[in-house]
Structure 1
Amino acid sequence: MMARSRNIKPGFFSNEHLAELDFATRLLFIGMWTEADREGRLEDRPRRLKMALFPADNVDINSMLDDLDHLGFIKRYTVGDVKAIQVINWTKHQNPHMKEAQSTIPEMPVVEASEGKPDASTIQAPDSHSSFPADSLSLDSLNLIPDSLNPSPAPVDRAELFARFWKLYPRKVGKDKAEKVWAKLKLTQALFDQILQALAKHSLTPGWTKDNGQFIPHASTWLNGKRWEDEVDPPTNVHPFPAASRHEGFDKRDYRAGTKENANGTFRI
């Protein structure tokens, strides 16, 4: 397949969601546009993409594609024996030349749009491309950001929230790996609150409290598995308030109980 000329707009470089990805993955995303056909589809062949786009670099294309899929910039799918990739909202942001060959890759199975979401499908009908030449600018191609990410939620300070999470996580092992997983989360304040609430519940379970916590998973494992979504039953042997100390309440004790008072005002047993 011959590489093609495509559009790239300033909004690409300032998008906060793309900023979550490393430099090589962002470059891969751009390179994929030149490999995609007029429908924004290309074969899901990581080795071929590496040879086409990163022939001299040691990069993990498969993992990078997973990251792009996770954030909603592409969709990896399979139709029969064909593994393919669809660049999301391709036809809204690119104007392939009218003479480009028709796509030979099966289109992504379309889930029926629910009410109130008329724009759920990103697949444009065949032969409906503009007659503008490739690289022309249109009002619909001012950026290449999936509509599902706009408008974006209120920004959160990822570093500050991770520091709070790490301070509370009971097993301080593999901090670097945990930070990398944290960077890939679609983090919002609501999700962060959910994570902390779940962490508090997990911290009381027998699997986390026995044997000095040796069975507590690494934070990266816990985050990767989205364990905050687990249903955790609160332990029945944990009291909501600690037992009263035997060193407290001296002023409220009756030290005369069980004694008899003498005529001189003293007490005897």
Structure 2
Amino acid sequence: MARIRTIKPEFFTSEDIVSLSPLARLLYVATWCEADKEGRLAWKPLTFKLRYFPGDECDIKALCQELVEAKLVVLYGDGLAYIPKFGAHQHINPRESASQLPEPDASPRVATRQTLDSDAQGGREGKEGKGTPDASRPDEPPGFTEFWKTWPSNDRKQAKGKCLEAWKKAHAERDAALILAHVESLKTSAGWRDKGGQFIPAPLVYLNNRRWEGAELAEVGGESSIGSFV
């Protein structure tokens, strides 16, 4: 049964949230409504589709996977999940029924408001403003964390989980130094600086197309292929 939950303004500018695709962001909010007072919920992607996206053509399983890869939702047991830090950011109605779902086994406990009072809502929301470093995830291969930090922030800097998979698939760690140098050079190129960065591609497009291959860094400022990115 869906429940009433709250959302904070800083949610919309959190690095973890803007890295998601738009529908994945909406799905993440929907999981709060599914979750009980302990942040636990039954993980039923098809039910989520019918309940929250009845008029949208979307791959609900891919959206769910996006949340899992971003570690905003953790799966456990037989078809169950929990939302880390849920208790730190929701004001639960004291009359709400106690959780009927088992605690996650061998998993970090859902954080409480006392232990995470300095965090903002969802993922690492608000940490940049407090000067907390963006620690790399254990499953991130060498170079990817630096790549993500180096990429310019705009409305196309999304789908960090998919970018991570593309990085792994391309074995990009072998070319990490070249990739970082290429991106830094592109950031000073006329194509990327024109019109406030309007033509900067999505990092996923860059990785999928392996655009660092054969890059002539000395001439990158004159690159003319930038412009048709989505």
* Normalised TM-score (structure 1): 0.48
- Tell me, yes or no, if structure 1 residue 56 matches structure 2 residue 49: no
What is the alpha-carbon distance in structure 2 between the residues aligned to residue 143 and residue 76 of structure 1?
22
Q: Which residue of 1 aligns with 2:104?
A: 108
* Greater relative CO, 1 or 2 (CA 8 Å, sep 6+): 2
Unmatched segments (≥5 aa) in structure 2: 135-145, 180-206, 211-230
1:158 corresponds to: 151
| One-letter amino acid of the counterpart of residue 53, structure 1 | Y
Q: 1:180 to 1:100 in 2, by over 3 A?
A: closer
The match for 1:97 is 93
- Between the aligned partners of 2:24 and 2:38, the Cα distance in structure 1 is 22
Q: Between the two proteins, what is the percent identity of the paired residues?
A: 27
| One-letter amino acid of the counterpart of residue 37, structure 1 | D
Partner of 2:81: 85
Q: Give the 3 Å change call, closer, same or farther, for CA 102–141 of structure 1 in structure 2.
A: farther
Q: How far apart are the structure 2 equivalents of 1:156 and 1:102? A: 41
Please say if 1:27 is aligned against 2:15. Answer: no
Residue 196 (str. 1) matches residue 184 (str. 2): no
Deviations 1:97-143 (A, max 9, x none): 111111112221134xxxxxxxx53255xxxx99xxxxxxxx93973
Structure 1's 220 and 106: CA in aligned 2 closer, same or farther, altered over 3 A?
A: farther
Aligned 8 A contact 1:74 1:87 in 2: yes
Runs (4+) of structure 1 exceeding 2 A deviation are: 120-124, 139-143, 145-160, 179-187, 192-195, 197-200, 219-222
Q: How does 1:169-248 map to 2 (within 5 A)?
A: 184-185=163-164, 194-196=173-175, 220=208
Query: Larger helix proportion, structure 1 or 2?
Result: 2
User: Which AA in structure 2 matches 1:122?
Assistant: V
Deviation string for 1:156-176 (max 9, x for gaps)? 23369xxxxxxxxxxxxxxxx
The 1:31/1:98 distance shift into structure 2, 3 A limit, reads same
2:4 aligned residue? 5
Q: Is the 8 A contact 1:9 1:142 kept in 2?
A: no
- What is the rounded CA distance, in whole Å, between the counterparts of 1:24 and 1:147 in structure 2? 19
Q: 2:109 — aligned with what?
A: 121
- Offset, 1:30: 0.8
Partner of 1:169: none
Count residues with an aligned counterpart: 158
CA contact (8 A) 2:38 2:110 kept: no
Structure number with greater Rg is 1
| Cα offsets for 1:213-267 (capped at 9, x unmatched) | xxxxxx7599xxxxxxxxxxxxxxxxxxxxxxxxxxxxxxxxxxxxxxxxxxxxx
1-structure distance, mates of 2:87, 2:160: 31
Residues 1:37 and 2:14 are matched in the alignment = no
- What SS is found at the alignment partner of 2:149? coil
Unaligned runs of 5+ residues in structure 1 are 112-119, 131-138, 161-178, 201-218, 223-269
- Is the 8 Å Cα contact of residues 10 and 143 (structure 1) preserved in structure 2? no
Root mean square deviation, CA, Å: 4.0
SS of the residue corresponding to residue 17 of structure 1 reads helix
